[in-house]
Copies of this chain bind each other. A is one copy, B any other.
Amino acid sequence: MQTIKFKNKPYLLTGYSIVGPLEGKGPLKDYFDYILKDDTLNEKSFEKSERKLLEKIVVGAIDKANLNTNDIDFFVGGDLLNQIVSSSFTARELSIPFIGLYSACATMAESLAIASILVSFNLADNVVAGTCTHFSSAERQYRFPLELGNQRPPTAQWTITGGGASVISNKPSKIRINSVTFGKVIDYGITDVNNMGAAMAPAASSTILAHLKNSNKRPSDYDLIATGDLGKLGSEILIDLLEREKIILGKNYSDCGCIIFDKTERVFMGGSGAGCSASVLNSYIIHKINKGEFKRVLLVSTGALMSTTSSQQGDTIPGIAHAIELEYVEDKIKKSILLQRKIKKLKRKRKSK
């Protein structure tokens, strides 16, 4: 079954996000935990900056949960750099068992899904899941070195500098994870690497359809359905694709790549990158759920699964999307869960006596 519904629901204990200076000027600036003044982080290369950024994000999430690395059973994550080096080197510093993933910009949802499974089935008490991207390392690897000063076409998106991490835990918090849907790889034949939104929209459509069907829900059951980084054009394509299936996305639909920036001067179609849905989830979305303003959210991180080599060899761009359903837990429910657990514990103690 593509959708996994949790009986024993894991909780999102804390989310932590850091973004770069440009993202820190956008409309979500008040929600991020930290905004970099200098996106080099005093490192000699952008790849090393990205790595340091991810370390700071993951450690930040663990700290915010009042835990230390010994309390964390697994680090689940990946990133866009070849061989996910940012994540692997971060795992080296943390010395936590590491489950490395790759799902391009869908990594945040995939990491959360694996983390949620581990916690739901009592294989872990606390798991940290996270990812990030850096504009300059992504440009160098996927497109051109910045020093070349290449022009960008109007369908291009802007890989954000930033990211986020969440601590998934069996300890009740105000946000619980109801279910996850792993996506299929979908390819509509897009070859333009400057039009990622169009390449990923069909995968988002496929995963949203599967999730709604398997969960027996309609879009109106959610206060927010947020795709990862389709951008302006990709979002429009998604709306069209779902309309054909008689699924109407309303005002509750948003794309993390569209809401992280307001001015389009440099960013054209909006933000992208694994860090995009990671930073928006772990700031704005979590904040709104914690306040009870969003009761139920579907995060659909979207990824484009090409490499520079596959593109150079004429291949089309396959897309993937993974979805995760988050729900607000009222204080009284949270308290009753804690009480029930205490009673269970006491009963077990008495039995063992």
Contacts and interface: CB of A to CB of B under 8 A. Distances in A.
A210 to B, nearest CB: 8
A84 interface: yes
Contact of A305 (B45, B48, B83, B121): B83
A103 interface: yes
Copies per assembly: 2
Interface string A102-124: 11100000100010011001011
A124 B313 contact: no
Interface residues of A, number: 54
A325 interface: no
Contacts of A102: 78, 83-84, 100-102
Contacts of A139: none
Given A100-B101, A123-B1, A309 B91 contact: no
A310 interface: yes
A306 B81 CA distance: 11
Contacts of A220: none
A194 interface: no
A1 B315 CA distance: 42
A247 interface: no
10 contacts: A2-B73, A83-B102, A85-B310, A88-B305, A91-B320, A97-B182, A98-B185, A100-B102, A101-B101, A117-B118
**Lowest 7 CB-CB distances: which A-B pairs, in order?**
A88-B305, A83-B307, A92-B185, A97-B182, A91-B185, A102-B102, A82-B307
Interface of A: 1-2, 4, 44-45, 47-48, 73-74, 78, 80-85, 88-89, 91-92, 95-104, 110, 114, 117-118, 121, 123-124, 141, 182-187, 305-310, 313, 315, 318, 320
